Structure 1
Amino acid sequence: MQKSFWQKAAMAASIVLLAGCSQSISDYTAMTPEFKLDRFFVGSGKAYGVMHNWRGQQGVRFVADLCGEWRQGQGDLYEVFYFSDGRVEQRHWQLTQNADGKVTGTAGDVIGDATGQLAGNSLYWQYVLRIPYDGDTLDVTVKDWLHLVDEKNLINRTTLHKFGFKVAELTLSIQQLDANADCAALKQQVAEIAAD
């Protein structure tokens, strides 16, 4: 039995839509302003985020203080998170940014290395994050898209995956406050939270 014109058209449209669902970091090469970690994540910053579960329902929210220091492509990014459920958590990223835009990073709750690529106004990177879950911990794969809106503002869209399935999504905005700020106070706070 031959397929009708409309069935063929629907099938062709489905194939086009599926092919258009994936994105590549190279799609953003020509977009400006150019995103460089050592320009944006330097000095003090502030982040605001909302987590959604796999159904799209809003869950925990947070505000975070950030401060970054850089030396010749090597950076330390200190983060303190204040969650809506009362938790306070820290992360200390140790980052490397290469001239070709390749980015690598490590942190205490990241299993192995985070790896990614900068292009144009964007960064895509991926890593395995160990998160608290139901009195224990859970390792999830994080797929992170960061897009620089202007010199001081960035939008971050993150999906968390387990066994290949999306289990949560995170949306956050990050603002650079003072590129010349000293990180000593936040660095000390990160160390104190980590020691608890």
Structure 2
Amino acid sequence: MTRFLLILAMALSVGSCSSVDVARYADQQPALNLEHFFSQPVKAWGMFQKRSGEVVKRFEVDIVSRREGNNLILDERFQYSDGTRQRRVWTLTPEGQGRWSGRADDVVGVAKGQIAGNTLHWRYRLNLPVDDSTYEMSMDDWMYLMDEDTLINRTTMSKFGVEVGQVTLFFRRQGAGASQ
């Protein structure tokens, strides 16, 4: 019984450490407006690290967006350091009060997001191809607007509640309207 209580206490303490409320960032500026940030082409650079810290993949992403009715469509084209390519098209829908939902072909169900101040917090499940297999990963995705043209993203990937790695990504707006 003592062993069970110890394991339960450890599990609860790990879970409680990993949960930050996005509302904590409500006063942070500049305020993130997804439609404005993605109103012109965006270039992003990122890397995937195993939980040990080893970088196993680097990548660049070109993102173009468009409006379809109430939806914001993000067309992402990835180029990985191993030469592989990938495309993901997000359909983002505002749900009111800073809440967003998102869908993409490799997202399981619906991504749920909340904006507060300069921060967007997404949670979703992603089908991740690795070699000849596909794994369903839980994604805990935090995006922080640094200035009008720069967004930093940090994502924790987990399987069965155990962290398997992290993605770090830097977005920069391109084009004539971007600050230099």
TM over 0.5: yes
Query: In the alignment, is the contact (CA less than 8 A) between 1:43 and 1:179 conserved in 2?
Result: no
- Once the two structures are TM-superposed, the CA of residue 99 in structure 1 deviates from its matched residue by 3.4
- Which of 49, 53, 56 aligns to 2:50? It is 53
Matching residue of 2:81? 84
Q: Does 1:178 align with 2:179?
A: no
Secondary structure at the counterpart of residue 35 of structure 2 = helix
| Runs of 4 or more above 2 Å deviation | 18-22, 70-73
Q: Indicate whether 1:62 and 2:62 are aligned.
A: no
Q: How far apart, CA to CA, are the structure 2 residues paired with 1:30 and 1:96?
A: 24
Q: Which residue of the partner structure matches residue 40 of structure 2?
A: 43
Larger radius of gyration: 1
Q: Higher helix share goes to which structure?
A: 1
Name the amino acid aligned to 1:75: L
Distance 1:65 1:134 in 2: 24
For structure 1, the residue ranges without an aligned partner over 5 or more in a row are 1-17, 181-196
- What is the rounded CA distance, in whole Å, between the counterparts of 1:124 and 1:32 in structure 2? 16
Separation (CA, whole Å) in 2 of partners of 1:45 and 1:101: 22
Q: Output the CA distance in 1 between the equivalents of 2:119 and 2:66.
A: 20
How has the CA–CA distance of structure 1 residues 161 and 19 changed in structure 2, closer, same or farther, with 3 Å as cutoff? Answer: closer
Which residue identity is paired with 2:156?
Answer: T
Identity within the alignment, % = 37
Output aligned runs, 1:12-27, within 5 Å: 22-27=19-24
Report the TM-score, using the length of structure 1 for normalisation.
0.78
CA distance in 1 between counterparts of 2:117 and 2:51 reads 30
How far is 1:20 from its partner?
Answer: 6.8
Segments of 5+ residues of structure 2 without an aligned counterpart are 1-14
**Residue aligning to 2:3:** none
Deviation (angstroms), 1:136: 1.5
SS of 2:135's equivalent in the other structure is strand
- Pairwise CA distance, 1:19: 6.8
Report SS of the residue matched to 2:23: helix
Report the Cα distance in structure 1 between the residues aligned to 2:156 and 2:67, rounded to whole angstroms: 27
Residues 107-142 of structure 1 deviation map (CA, whole Å, 9 limit, x = unaligned): 010010000100000000110100112311111000
Counterpart mapping for 1:29-178 below 5 A? 29-71=26-68, 73-178=70-175
Shift of 1:54: 1.4
